[in-house]
């Protein structure tokens, strides 16, 4: 007889004046999620930063969601176990979807090493608004760069569950865009990504 609201049967989607269509018309571009995936040190955040600049300069409403930043706020209760990392991706995908609802192009920069979880993100966001960018860079090169000194700590056993060392990275099976940051500079890769996504925002 007792129904607990936790099953959410009494929560319904509320219609608002502000809609995706209204934002699209007003901002003169579509809103999509550009999902960067790759090893730590592959260049995801540098690329997201550069591409966001190019989009901003072309009057696109744009924002960057970053693993480091969200982990200090929304997801600060989550660790790096496989289940916590999955929840991390789920929440980021839900937030990215809200930004799409607001008419904003979102660049997300997360290692997101598991194919199934990236597909979960794609499903949450909606496949028509999800553009997967594989930032391809060898583990050797990422480890050599080691900008944050994390690989050294992982090798020393001071960090557990580190992607590429003692936690898997599954390459995307069918990414929309692939860039290789060993062969090409961040500037070159950014232009490739920008050129690939810009037309899709103006369809």
> Active-site residue numbers?
112
Asked if residue 12 binds a copy of itself (CB under 8 A), the reply is yes
Residue from the set 97, 108, 134, 135 that interacts with a copy of itself by CB under 8 A: 97
Binding segment toward a copy of itself, per CB under 8 A, in 43-51, 110-118, 126-134, 169-177? 43-51
142 counts as binding a copy of itself under rule CB under 8 A: no
Task: Please state, in angstroms and rounded to a whole number, the distance separating the CA atoms of residues 146 and 55.
Answer: 28
What's the CA angle centered on 180, arms 175 and 181, to 5 degrees?
Answer: 135
Tokens representing 87?
Answer: 């929840």
Q: Quick one: which of 88, 86, 84 has its CA closest to 68?
A: 88
Cβ distance to a copy of itself smaller for residue 94 or 183: 94
Rule CB under 8 A: say whether 119 interacts with a copy of itself: no
Q: Are 133 and 171 in contact (CB under 8 A)?
A: no
d(CA 52, CA 108): 10
Token representation of residue 3: 């129904």
In angstroms, what is the minimal distance from the CB of 145 to a copy of itself?
Answer: 15
Name which of 67 and 172 has its Cβ closer to a copy of itself: 67
Residue 81 near a copy of itself by CB under 8 A:
yes
Do residues 47 and 193 make contact, with C-beta atoms less than 8 angstroms apart? yes
| Residue 90 main-chain phi, psi, to 5 deg | -60, -50
Q: Confirm or reject binding of residue 56 to a copy of itself (CB under 8 A).
A: yes
For position 28 contacting a copy of itself by CB under 8 A, the verdict is: no
Half-sphere CA count of 8, side-chain side, radius 13 A: 2
Which residues make up the interface to a copy of itself (CB under 8 A)? 1-6, 8, 10-14, 16-18, 22, 26, 45, 49-50, 52-53, 56, 61-74, 76, 78-81, 84, 91, 94-95, 97-99, 101-102, 104, 124, 148, 150, 153, 157-162
């Amino acid at each position: 007889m007792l129904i607990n609201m936790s099953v959410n049967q009494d929560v319904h989607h509320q219609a608002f004046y502000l809609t995706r269509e209204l934002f699209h018309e007003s901002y003169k571009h579509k809103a999509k999620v550009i999902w960067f995936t790759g090893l730590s040190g592959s260049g995801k955040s540098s690329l997201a930063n550069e591409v966001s600049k190019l989009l901003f300069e072309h009057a696109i409403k744009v924002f960057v969601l970053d693993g480091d930043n969200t982990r200090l706020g929304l997801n600060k209760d989550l660790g790096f176990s496989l289940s916590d990392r999955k929840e991390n991706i789920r929440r980021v995908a839900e937030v990215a979807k809200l930004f799409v609802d607001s008419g904003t192009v979102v660049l997300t920069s997360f290692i997101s090493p598991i194919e199934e979880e990236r597909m979960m993100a794609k499903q949450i966001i909606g496949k028509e608004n999800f553009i997967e960018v594989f930032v391809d860079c060898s583990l050797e090169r990422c480890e050599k760069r080691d900008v944050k000194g994390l690989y050294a700590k992982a090798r020393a056993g001071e960090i557990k569950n580190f992607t590429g060392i003692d936690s898997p990275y599954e390459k995307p099976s069918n990414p929309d865009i692939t860039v290789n940051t060993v062969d090409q500079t961040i500037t070159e890769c950014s232009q490739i990504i920008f050129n690939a996504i810009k037309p899709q925002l103006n369809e």
